[in-house]
Amino acid sequence: MNVKLAETAGFCFGVKRAVDTVYKQIAENPDTPIYTYGPIIHNDEVIKDMKKKGIHVIRSDEELMTLEKGIVIVRSHGVPKSVCRRLEAAGMTCVDATCPFVKKIHKIVERESEAGKHIVIIGNESHPEVEGIMGWANGPVSVIQTVEDAYHFQIPEEKSICIVSQTTFNYNKFKELVEIISETRYDITVLNTICSATKERQTEAKSIAEEVDAMIVIGDKMSSNSQKLFEICNTACKATYFIQTLDDLDTNQLRSVDTVGITAGASTPNNIIEEVQKNVRIIF
């Protein structure tokens, strides 16, 4: 019997930085209201713990205007440029916990759109990271997520394009979509802005899933990178289970297998990973 735990499972650099930022602000400002603009990361267990410590999640601009002045921590996914201005106008102290890799995309999009290029973001339009990236463009923006989107993408041929990616997008899908767009375009700048940690995590997860009888992916249902891990693992191993905590795992499904692989999204705390791993080992 064997349990293989991915070395890359758990908090990535950007997530750890954002979570640490919140707890640091709590420790240093015990008497000041502290908010996060949107959930700091996509993990409900982490958000629940922060709520117990007094952190309030701002869900809308309208809500922002009704709150007592205090510290607002910008989520790891980043926000549109306009939100930063509204925070300042509301008299809030802004602490930016945007992942540095996402911040880099903001700067690229701002620079390239100011140069007159049409910005194309490969990603999920409804994801907060993509919403934030769109908000740094000073011109037209298109979001492409599927093959159909890529084939239907049309703008004037003389228009220059700059393509970037959501940091957690599937690397192989990114390449596929870029190739489709490139078939009909000439003046294209392609910047692969997928986080290297995301690519490494996806590659390792696929490798493990190909070698085991069952695969467990631990992550929040709202986590884009966790969903991508599940898709990749499920393709390589049909007995792949997507769980948020140990409570979601049906251990009876694992009793007849010899090897189990475990990986986790970039916003999954180590204590949850360790709990799942420990209990899976007990089964065997």
Q: Residues near 127 by Cβ (< 8 Å), separated by ≥ 6?
A: 77, 166, 224
Q: What is the pLDDT of residue 57?
A: 96
| d(C-alpha 205, C-alpha 216), whole Å | 10
User: Would you say 49 and 59 are in contact if contact means Cβ atoms under 8 Å apart?
Assistant: no
Residues with pLDDT less than 70, the chain: 1, 283-284
Q: Which of 114, 130, 112, 122 is nearest to 181 (CA)?
A: 122
The residue annotated as part of the active site, out of 112, 129, 131, 204, is 129
The CATH class of 101-190 is alpha beta
Q: What is the pLDDT of residue 157?
A: 82
| d(C-alpha 268, C-alpha 244), whole Å | 8
Q: What is the pLDDT of residue 65?
A: 82
Q: What is the pLDDT of residue 47?
A: 96
The CATH class of 2-11+196-283 is alpha beta
Q: Do domains 2-11+196-283 and 13-100 have the same CATH topology?
A: no
Q: What is the pLDDT of residue 256?
A: 86
Q: What is the pLDDT of residue 15?
A: 96
What pTM does this model have?
0.88
CA-to-CA separations, 279 to 24, 94, 260, 284, in angstroms, rounded: 32, 41, 12, 9
Note if 131 is an active site residue.
no
Q: What is the pLDDT of residue 234?
A: 97
Q: What is the pLDDT of residue 184?
A: 82
CATH of 13-100, one of 3.40.630.190, 3.40.50.2020, 3.40.50.11270, 3.30.460.80: 3.40.50.11270
- Annotated domain spans of the chain: 2-11+196-283, 13-100, 101-190
Reduced to 3 states, what is the DSSP secondary structure of residue 116?
coil
User: Would you say 202 and 228 are in contact if contact means Cβ atoms under 8 Å apart?
Assistant: yes
Long-range contacts: 18-27, Cβ < 8 Å, 24+? 18/73, 18/75, 18/76, 18/97, 18/98, 18/99, 19/46, 21/73, 21/95, 21/97, 22/50, 22/55, 22/73, 22/97, 23/53, 25/71, 25/73, 25/95, 26/53, 26/54, 26/55
